[in-house]
Amino acid sequence: MSRKLRIIYYVEPDAGALARRAAQYFVEMADEAVDRRGRARIAISGGSTPKAAFELLGDPGQPWRGRMQWDKLDLFWVDERCVPPDGQESNYRMTREALLDRAPLRPEQIHRMEGELDPEEAASRYESELRNSFRLEGAELPRFDLIALGMGPDGHTASLFPHTEALHEMNRLVTANHVANKDTWRITLTWPVINRASSVFFLVSGADKAQILNEVMAAPLDVERLPSQLIWPASGILTLILDKSAAAMLPATDEEGCGFLEREG
Ligand code: 6PG
């Protein structure tokens, strides 16, 4: 059975505009989830691109801080580096500094991955955390309202790196992943969990992403080399929020900066 994926992309002129668009998108998607179900369960990624959006969301001088329904959020992570929560590399630390320290969230709304533990243990503890928070039974998968992803210049997303074990993990919700060429371990949501979310978007910026972004979106499927191609949401829709440099090799947008692609797989 062939599946269709509709890819919608928004292209902003520069990194500042990209961060504003992303902040606005977080607020709107949280509002939609709250209207639908009373709360918004959001999973976020690390990386430099979301950081700028998180800083805007946490800034009392910016409109988004006052607009976000903070008391209705449950915040989860897509992936984590295997370091303590105050480590330079920690995705949690980045988010805490950019957002959590300034946002009115209660500790029980923040569900971090424990990068300081043995990777396998951290993955199974996070899986239990998801099972409890989402009240899952048996083989049920969680359905996040929104998952925010980044994309590396090597085609990775979340901590699903090219030619790594985690690309084959279809039964777990969360897995430890050894990344040999970085000589490191990561903890990551598995791709079936990401694809089950109500909404999934990529936030991608910079000229060094143009080539890989175009390959991920338009080249024949080769998920071992381009793990970002595993992201094929069950909703049939994938959103990309991009800056002009990252979007340079995609088909031109309309005058509102919006473009569409369709894939079959
Ligand atoms: C991480 C990530 C990762 C990230 C991409 C893009 O912790 O490394 O979650 O998947 O999103 O590498 O990162 P940039 O936004 O820095 O390009």
How large is the average pLDDT for residues 32-47?
97
Model pLDDT for residues 72-84, shown as the tens digit of each residue: 999 999 999 999 9
Model pLDDT for residues 151-192, shown as the tens digit of each residue: 999 999 999 999 999 999 999 999 999 999 999 999 999 999
The pTM of this model reads 0.97
| Burial degree of 6 (CB within 10 A; 0-12, 13-18, 19+) | middle
How large is the average pLDDT for residues 222-237?
98
Closest-CA residue to 220 (of 263, 255, 254)? 263
Model pLDDT for residues 102-154, shown as the tens digit of each residue: 999 999 999 999 999 999 999 999 999 999 999 999 999 999 999 999 999 99
Which of 49, 54, 82 maximizes ligand 1 atoms within 8 Å of its Cβ, making it the mutation to test the pocket? 49
Ligand 1 atom at minimum distance from 91 CA: 7
**Atom 1, ligand 1: residue with shortest CA distance:** 46
Closest-CA residue to 240 (of 258, 219, 224, 252)? 258
- Average pLDDT value over all residues in the chain: 97
Ligand 1 atom at minimum distance from 50 CA: 15
How large is the average pLDDT for residues 205-234?
97
How large is the average pLDDT for residues 2-14?
95
CB atoms within 10 A of CB 166: 26
> With a 6 A CB cut-off, is 155 part of the ligand 1 pocket?
no
> With a 6 A CB cut-off, is 243 part of the ligand 1 pocket?
no
> With a 6 A CB cut-off, is 48 part of the ligand 1 pocket?
yes
The answer to whether the beta carbons of residues 148 and 201 sit under 8 Å apart is yes
Q: Does the structure show a pLDDT above 60 at 25? A: yes
How large is the average pLDDT for residues 49-73?
97
**What is the CA(19)–ligand 1 centre distance, in A?**
15
Which of 45, 77, 189 maximizes ligand 1 atoms within 8 Å of its Cβ, making it the mutation to test the pocket? 45
Which of 92, 154, 157, 179 maximizes ligand 1 atoms within 8 Å of its Cβ, making it the mutation to test the pocket? 157
Q: What is the pLDDT of residue 2?
A: 72
Complete domains list, the chain, with CATH: 4-264 (3.40.50.1360)
Q: Does the structure show a pLDDT above 60 at 229? A: yes
Q: What is the pLDDT of residue 265?
A: 86
Q: What is the pLDDT of residue 180?
A: 96
**Atom 13, ligand 1: residue with shortest CA distance:** 47
Q: What is the pLDDT of residue 1?
A: 57
**What is the CA(139)–ligand 1 centre distance, in A?**
29
Model pLDDT for residues 232-257, shown as the tens digit of each residue: 999 999 999 999 999 999 999 999 99
Give Cα 50 to chain centroid, integer Å: 9
d(CA 235, CA 200): 9
d(CA 109, CA 57): 16
d(CA 179, CA 157): 13
The label of the residue with tokens 């947008």 reads: 253
Strands 184-189 and 79-81: antiparallel
When pLDDT is cut at 50, 70 and 90, the band that residue 221 belongs to is very high
Closest-CA residue to 51 (of 77, 83, 19, 78)? 19
Q: What is the pLDDT of residue 172?
A: 98
What's 86's DSSP letter? T
